[in-house]
Structure 1
Amino acid sequence: MNAWVIDDFGGPEVFDKRERPVPEPDDHEVLVRVHATSVNPVDYKIRRGDAAGLCPARPAVLHGDVAGIVAAVGEAVSDIAEGDAVYGCAGGFTGAPHGALADYMPCDARLLAAMPESLSAREAAALPLVTLTAWEALLDKGDVRTLQRVLVHGATGGVGHVGLQLAKWRRCEVAVTASGQHKLNLGADLGADRLIDYEDEPVDDYVHRCTDGEGFDLVFDTVAGDNLRRSVEAARLNGAVATVGAAADSVLRMAQRKGLSLHLVSMLIPMLHDFDRAHHGEILQWTADLVEEGHLRPLVDDRTFTFDEIGEAHAYAEAKKQIGKVAVTHPDA
């Protein structure tokens, strides 16, 4: 089969297309004929060497998100059959080394779910990692409930656009941040109730406008870095913040003074440690139901790439030019 591999860390040009043996699925795996994947920040951070500890043994096949057709089934797998269309985030990391940038990808069956019938493989491949992250933040840890005031940073980001839709599905009042009217309009189209241009409106101003100065019940920080401090500032007393990043000591002290619950989100744990992998499959099956019921839709950038253009796809995503997710399709799909 063909695989697009890296031998060394570096820029987008390090990908090399070469022939490799088709892997054999073990008893608890299925072999997926890959139709599409998507670019997540963790993918290009691994490629650059910024997250070298997450990289499989080199030459490495990267990318976790996958959508495709099951080509073979391990003996212990009973709920997935050859020919099924599936999607998931199932490899490209230590602990799950076979990534999606190949003709075939062996996947732990517990990490997969039936692909939503109304989506193309390109659209389905945009959902797994970001949806699993948003679900962990808002439902598993944040426990969003009806009529709560929720702030989601990054209305058109990969995780943010899913998070706002999940919060709306749970009947919350959702405010979102973005830069520029076009992105804010897209956030409104996805269901956001209140729109915040973070470049023009300070935290104190939008907290007063959106919550009468009380602060949000839950703030979902999909940006991290300095944005975590703004997220803590925007939360109400005894509220909660869920973040994809780490907290500095000064931010922790600020959160403690407000009595906040601080949820640190790391959706890679099931793959890295073989921990509760079946829950990821459950979430993705529930996600497929939400898609079919009209509660959730992926936001995929208009720019198209194939696996032969994976370096260009990485460069485009790293430059943060995209709206939503950057999807990449197999050249034969």
Structure 2
Amino acid sequence: MKALILNSYNSPLQLQEVEKPVPASGQVLIKVRSGGLNPLDLKIMSGQAGHAQTKLPAIPGIDVSGIAEAVGKDVSTFKPGDEVYGMIGGVGDNQGSLADYVAADARLLALKPKNLSFHEAAALPLIFITAWEAMVDRANVHEGQKVLVHGGAGGVGHIAVQIARARGAEVFATVNKRHFELITGYGAVPIDYSATSVEAYMDRYTDGEGFDVILDNVGGKTLDDAFAAVKRYTGHVVSILGWGSHSLAPLSFRGATYSGVFTLYPLLSGNGRSHHGEILRQATALIEAGMVKPTVSPSSYNLETVMDAYREVAAGSAGKVVVDIS
């Protein structure tokens, strides 16, 4: 089969012929239709992702959509011909999606939403799983709450906004002013972070009490701002980028709580993989019900033009970038 190979860090991917994988016990052989790219893929290619190291030479690509061609022993959840998607590889020793075929752990997969193309579906797994772990697993967002999403127009952010709305919460999102229309289209209230202070939007939208749940997709000072804007006693802050050093004093003085999300752990460790499949089944249900839809870049790429796709991600795409394989 044809596959893109990362032979050394900080070098272009090479299109090569390699052996087609055979599904082992518990795996599904997928005829890849599309592979989604994330900012994390850039860090992996440059060797800067200390938390997501891969073993060279490697086939990159974290997200996949495609058709099940064969199943290994002990797989009863999928059959040949099923249209599937998942966050399946590109880190550790897990083959990624930028190839004609990939043998993936069946526990990481779900049936693709019928109302999405393969191209659209490949944009979803990492961002949806991350957003779900934050909004549902950690914060248990529910009706009657006021939820603030920092970075609401980003990959994880725009999905988190939609999940919170689907669960009945009143949602606010800090974004650049050019993304106001996008956020209002999701039924949320946009906040121009460059023109409004934390105190001002906290007073305006919560009468100074603070938000029930705050999701930080930015890190740094934004996480510090979240600690100061969360509701006293019952509030909860979640971050997907809580890797720096922060003072917990503002959070402690408000008597609130904090948790982090590390979406890659099941891929790297092998533990908890079935939960990723469960989350994507929830994704399929919400998407088929019309409650969640990914924002996808209009650009089109293939295995030959993949470096252009990486450049679009690096430049800050207006939507998830997807590479179509077949």
> How does the TM-score come out when normalised to structure 1?
0.94
Whether the 8 Å contact between 1:3 and 1:103 is mirrored in structure 2 is yes
Taking the aligned partners of 2:275 and 2:174, their CA distance within structure 1 comes to 30
**2:137 is the counterpart of 1:178:** no
Whether the 8 Å contact between 2:227 and 2:248 is mirrored in structure 1 is no
Taking the aligned partners of 1:54 and 1:25, their CA distance within structure 2 comes to 24
**2:322 is the counterpart of 1:324:** no
Partner of 2:152: 155
Q: CA deviation at 1:8?
A: 1.0
Q: Which residue of the other structure, out of 214, 219, 222, is the alignment partner of 1:224?
A: 219
Percent identity between the two aligned chains: 38
Whether the 8 Å contact between 1:86 and 1:114 is mirrored in structure 2 is yes
Q: CA deviation at 1:22?
A: 0.4
Q: CA deviation at 1:260?
A: 2.0
Secondary structure of 1:3's counterpart equals strand
Q: CA deviation at 1:75?
A: 1.5
Q: How many residues align?
A: 325
Taking the aligned partners of 1:310 and 1:230, their CA distance within structure 2 comes to 37
Q: CA deviation at 1:83?
A: 0.9
Q: Which residue of the other structure, out of 284, 294, 299, is the alignment partner of 1:298?
A: 294
Q: List per-residue Cα deviations over 1:253-312 (Å, max 9, x = no partner).
A: 332222221110011111111111111111101110111111111111222222222211
Taking the aligned partners of 2:133 and 2:208, their CA distance within structure 1 comes to 28
Q: Which residue of the other structure, out of 233, 249, 257, is the alignment partner of 1:253?
A: 249
Taking the aligned partners of 2:257 and 2:106, their CA distance within structure 1 comes to 34
Q: How does 1:1-333 map to 2 (within 5 A)?
A: 1-10=1-10, 14-52=12-50, 54-94=52-92, 96-180=93-177, 182-192=178-188, 194-238=189-233, 239-320=235-316, 322-330=317-325, 333=326
Whether the 8 Å contact between 2:15 and 2:303 is mirrored in structure 1 is no
Q: CA deviation at 1:247?
A: 5.0
Taking the aligned partners of 1:288 and 1:313, their CA distance within structure 2 comes to 26
Secondary structure of 1:286's counterpart equals helix
Matched to 2:6, the amino acid is: I
> How does the TM-score come out when normalised to structure 2?
0.96
Secondary structure of 1:31's counterpart equals strand
Taking the aligned partners of 1:170 and 1:53, their CA distance within structure 2 comes to 31
My pick for the range that moved more, 96-105 or 245-254, is: 245-254
Secondary structure of 1:159's counterpart equals helix
Taking the aligned partners of 2:226 and 2:304, their CA distance within structure 1 comes to 39
Whether the 8 Å contact between 1:301 and 1:323 is mirrored in structure 2 is yes
Secondary structure of 1:7's counterpart equals coil
Taking the aligned partners of 1:329 and 1:251, their CA distance within structure 2 comes to 44
Taking the aligned partners of 2:81 and 2:60, their CA distance within structure 1 comes to 24
Taking the aligned partners of 1:30 and 1:247, their CA distance within structure 2 comes to 34
Q: Structure 1's 307 and 88: CA in aligned 2 closer, same or farther, altered over 3 A?
A: same
Matched to 1:20, the amino acid is: V
Matched to 1:252, the amino acid is: L
Q: Structure 1's 282 and 162: CA in aligned 2 closer, same or farther, altered over 3 A?
A: same
Taking the aligned partners of 1:224 and 1:237, their CA distance within structure 2 comes to 21
Secondary structure of 1:131's counterpart equals helix
Q: Structure 1's 249 and 16: CA in aligned 2 closer, same or farther, altered over 3 A?
A: closer
My pick for the range that moved more, 298-307 or 121-130, is: 298-307
Whether the 8 Å contact between 1:228 and 1:251 is mirrored in structure 2 is no
Q: Structure 1's 250 and 118: CA in aligned 2 closer, same or farther, altered over 3 A?
A: closer
My pick for the range that moved more, 309-318 or 108-117, is: 309-318
Q: List per-residue Cα deviations over 1:204-262 (Å, max 9, x = no partner).
A: 11111111111101000111222211222221212111001125444323322222211
Matched to 2:8, the amino acid is: D
Q: CA deviation at 1:118?
A: 0.6
Q: CA deviation at 1:52?
A: 4.5
Any stretches of 5+ residues in structure 2 without a counterpart?
Answer: none
Q: List per-residue Cα deviations over 1:158-179 (Å, max 9, x = no partner).
A: 0001000000011000001110
Matched to 2:279, the amino acid is: I
Q: List per-residue Cα deviations over 1:5-36 (Å, max 9, x = no partner).
A: 111111xx521111100011101001111111
Q: CA deviation at 1:56?
A: 2.5
Q: Structure 1's 128 and 115: CA in aligned 2 closer, same or farther, altered over 3 A?
A: same
Q: Which runs of 4+ in 1 moved over 4 A?
A: none
Whether the 8 Å contact between 1:161 and 1:324 is mirrored in structure 2 is no
Taking the aligned partners of 2:229 and 2:300, their CA distance within structure 1 comes to 37
Secondary structure of 1:307's counterpart equals coil
Whether the 8 Å contact between 2:52 and 2:264 is mirrored in structure 1 is no
